[in-house]
């Protein structure tokens, strides 16, 4: 159906199971008996992505005749907004898949998803969440809590035992706060009740996400009870998975558009691109639905696909986001429409990322790259670059820095990667090229702010020293000379919790310093042009 922006002239009735017959023609809806479903999946982190990905694939499996024990209980770990929006709708919501036709006009396919049976808010009732994990019906506990939800050190991958939530959870088994705390104390209840193990399934953009989740859970459990840790290690499954679907944040305009399309008012629909990929290691402790009917693929090893996704899709996304926020390009499609940025992304992927990828037989990487740029250019999504730019300290290691390490290990240049890293560091100043201020939304925001201030001081000092040595003939502005930017980059890349040992590699620091100097002196457009002036249209 064509996307209609204007809302109906009168407020529509609220989406609800009793009103499914009132849905507009062409809107898909549950074709199974919802009352017969049981919640076999508990999902921690009930955000838009889980509802547009996991639940959508699970809905397809239920329509294809999957066991009625595969309904979903969704858990919000922080806020009440999702529960407040969906509870009056008995968990129903609309998934709107948006694309553009050959003429560039936005189009939309709408479906009402019915497999979300229950929504819980962990801070309100942690007992209910623990009980649901320990319920006999539960066979899979999945998570989409973003990188910061693992309470780990991004550079080392180790559980941060000093994290405030972990410290709290180790002493409060009945009222945990963190994902890891809920998982371990819920598993303890299962074991104490004589129930079987479950599969713990990460859907987050992290390398070897199943192995990472296993490591965090076992590290926490080891602090609680060695016997519990041994039971989890020997009985529960932690398959790795790779997920890929662009899911922008829902706006009030989107709500009005969905209401006009379906004929009912949905307090929180979710939007997504039609493209979906989900690669999962087929290692489950208590069975699974046949998610292949919804587009999932089961494999023996997900690692090659994870590396592909993290470095190509997420790495390019982050590079785009930081440069675009600084340049004032607010949406991904607007950014990709800039010839210099599109060229930069294409060359970054082709020349610096692709050579670091593992073998993926049967995959045409040139075609994959071209399709990825087409996905970014989708004008119907209006994916905000500021949304992608959040939590950079948690995203950089696996999205960009692992690729940097691979390039340097092969003694290969990193100009495009260095510009992406410098883009993030430049972004941390909190003001774009037009002088518009923005908040740095990051779990390490305070640490980053302190380090940025130290870097600016180091740059100013180095600049003054350089001017003195040059006898004031350089005429540089403070903080913009090569010596100043080298001091600046040295200070920021010395943050070991993000960069690990990369800050000790002079090749990396010099490349970042040069890219940062270009951004400061020439702006984003100038830095892109300087990277490959002969190829910029």
DSSP per position, 90-110: TT-EEEEEEEE-TTS-EEEEE
Taking residue 68's Cβ as centre, other Cβ atoms within 10 Å add up to 15
Q: Count Cβ neighbours within 10 Å for each residue of 287-313 and write b for 16 or more, e otherwise.
A: ebbebeebebebbeebbbbbbbbbbbb
Last residue of a domain, one of 274, 291, 324: 274
Give the pTM: 0.88
The three-state secondary structure class of 477 is coil
The three-state secondary structure class of 141 is strand
The three-state secondary structure class of 384 is strand
Residue 369 falls inside a structural domain: yes
Among 279, 509, 527, 307, residue whose Cα is nearest residue 403: 307
Render pLDDT for 215-261 as a digit per residue (tens, 0 to 9): 999 999 999 999 999 999 999 999 999 999 999 999 999 999 999 99
354: its two tokens: 């692709």
Query: Does 122 share its domain with 247?
Result: yes
Residue at token pair 């082709």: 350
Backbone phi, psi, residue 116, to 5°: -85, 105
Query: Does 225 share its domain with 82?
Result: yes
Cβ neighbours of residue 480 closer than 8 Å, sequence gap 6 or more: 463, 517, 520, 521
Query: Does 200 share its domain with 320?
Result: no
Residue 468 has a pLDDT of 79
Residue 279 falls inside a structural domain: no
Query: Does 211 share its domain with 262?
Result: yes
Residue 293 falls inside a structural domain: no
Q: What burial class does residue 66 get, using C-beta atoms within 10 Å of its C-beta: 0-12 exposed, 13-18 middle, 19+ buried?
A: buried
Cβ neighbours of residue 428 closer than 8 Å, sequence gap 6 or more: 392, 440, 448, 449, 452, 492
Q: How many domains does the chain have?
A: 2
Residue 419 falls inside a structural domain: yes
Residue 217 falls inside a structural domain: yes
Backbone phi, psi, residue 423, to 5°: -60, -40
Query: Does 236 share its domain with 369?
Result: no
Query: What are the residue ranges of helices labelled H in 103-146?
Result: 126-133
Range of the domain at 168: 17-274
Give the torsion sign (CA, 525, 527, 530, 531).
negative
Calpha distance 127→134 (Å, rounded) = 10
Last residue of a domain, one of 253, 274, 295: 274
Q: Do residues 184 and 224 touch, judged by C-beta distance below 8 A?
A: yes
Cβ neighbours of residue 439 closer than 8 Å, sequence gap 6 or more: 430
Q: Do residues 461 and 439 touch, judged by C-beta distance below 8 A?
A: no
180: its two tokens: 């890891």
Residue 376 falls inside a structural domain: yes
Query: Does 477 share its domain with 347?
Result: yes
Residue 503 has a pLDDT of 96
Render pLDDT for 327-351 as a digit per residue (tens, 0 to 9): 999 999 999 999 999 999 999 999 9
Residue at token pair 């730019």: 389
Render pLDDT for 7-54 as a digit per residue (tens, 0 to 9): 444 578 999 999 999 999 999 999 999 999 999 999 999 999 999 999
Last residue of a domain, one of 257, 274, 291: 274
410: its two tokens: 């092969």
Residue 284 falls inside a structural domain: no
Residue 6 has a pLDDT of 46
455: its two tokens: 């870097």
Residue 281 falls inside a structural domain: no
Query: Does 437 share its domain with 376?
Result: yes
Query: Does 321 share its domain with 401?
Result: yes
For residue 95, the cross-strand partners are 111, 270
Weakly modelled stretches of the chain, pLDDT under 70: 1-10, 471-480, 532-537
Among 412, 246, 400, residue whose Cα is nearest residue 336: 246
Query: Does 449 share its domain with 352?
Result: yes
Query: Does 312 share its domain with 239?
Result: no
Q: Which domain CATH number covers 189?
A: 3.40.50.720
Query: Does 258 share its domain with 312?
Result: no
Q: Do residues 439 and 430 touch, judged by C-beta distance below 8 A?
A: yes
Query: Does 325 share its domain with 222?
Result: no
Q: Which domain CATH number covers 407?
A: 1.10.1040.10
For residue 71, the cross-strand partners are 39
């Amino acid at each position: 159906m064509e996307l209609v922006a204007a809302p109906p002239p009168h407020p529509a009735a609220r989406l609800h199971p009793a009103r499914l017959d009132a849905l507009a023609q062409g809107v898909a809806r549950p074709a199974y008996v919802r009352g017969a479903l049981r919640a076999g999946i508990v999902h921690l982190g009930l955000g838009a992505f889980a509802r547009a990905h996991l639940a959508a694939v699970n809905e397809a499996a239920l329509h294809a005749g999957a066991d009625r024990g595969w309904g979903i209980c969704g858990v919000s770990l922080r806020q009440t907004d999702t529960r407040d929006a969906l509870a009056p709708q008995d968990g129903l919501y609309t998934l709107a898949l948006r694309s553009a036709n050959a003429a560039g006009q936005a189009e939309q396919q709408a479906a009402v998803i019915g497999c979300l049976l229950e929504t819980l808010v962990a801070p309100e009732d942690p007992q209910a969440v623990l009980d649901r994990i320990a319920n006999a019906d539960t066979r899979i506990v999945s998570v989409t809590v973003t990188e910061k939800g693992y309470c780990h050190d991004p550079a080392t991958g180790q559980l941060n035992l000093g994290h405030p939530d972990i410290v709290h959870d180790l002493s409060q088994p009945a009222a945990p706060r963190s994902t890891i705390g809920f998982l371990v104390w819920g598993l303890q209840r299962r074991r104490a009740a004589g129930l079987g193990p479950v599969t713990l399934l990460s859907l987050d953009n992290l390398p070897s996400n199943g192995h990472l989740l296993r490591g965090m859970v076992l590290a926490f459990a080891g602090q609680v009870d060695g016997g519990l840790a041994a039971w989890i290690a020997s009985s529960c499954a932690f398959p790795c998975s790779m997920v890929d679907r662009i899911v922008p944040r829902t706006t009030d305009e989107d709500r009005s558009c969905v209401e006009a399309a379906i004929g009912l008012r949905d307090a929180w629909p979710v939007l997504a691109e039609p493209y979906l990929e989900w690669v999962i290691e087929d290692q489950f402790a208590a069975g699974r639905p046949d998610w292949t009917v919804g587009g999932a693929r089961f494999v023996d090893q997900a690692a090659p696909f994870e590396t592909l996704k993290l470095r190509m899709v997420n790495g390019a996304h982050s590079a785009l986001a930081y440069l675009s926020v600084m340049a004032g390009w607010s949406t991904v499609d607007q950014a990709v429409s800039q010839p210099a940025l599109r060229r930069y992304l294409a060359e970054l992927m082709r020349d610096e990322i692709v050579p670091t990828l593992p073998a993926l037989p049967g995959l045409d990487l040139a075609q994959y790259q071209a399709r990825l740029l087409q996905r970014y250019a989708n004008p119907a999504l209006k994916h905000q670059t500021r949304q992608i730019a959040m939590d950079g300290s948690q995203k950089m290691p696996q999205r960009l820095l692992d690729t940097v390490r691979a390039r340097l290990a092969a003694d290969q240049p990193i100009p495009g990667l260095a510009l992406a890293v410098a883009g993030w560091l430049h972004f941390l100043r909190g003001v774009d090229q037009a002088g518009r201020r923005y908040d740095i939304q990051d779990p390490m925001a305070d640490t980053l702010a302190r380090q940025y201030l130290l870097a600016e001081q180091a740059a100013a000092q180095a600049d003054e020293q350089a001017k003195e040595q040059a006898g004031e003939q350089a005429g540089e502005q403070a903080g913009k000379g090569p010596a100043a930017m080298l001091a600046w980059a040295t200070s920021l890349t010395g943050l070991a919790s993000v960069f690990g040992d990369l800050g000790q590699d002079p090749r990396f620091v010099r490349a970042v310093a040069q890219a940062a100097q270009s951004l400061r002196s020439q702006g984003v457009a100038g830095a892109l042009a300087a990277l490959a002036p002969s190829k910029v249209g």
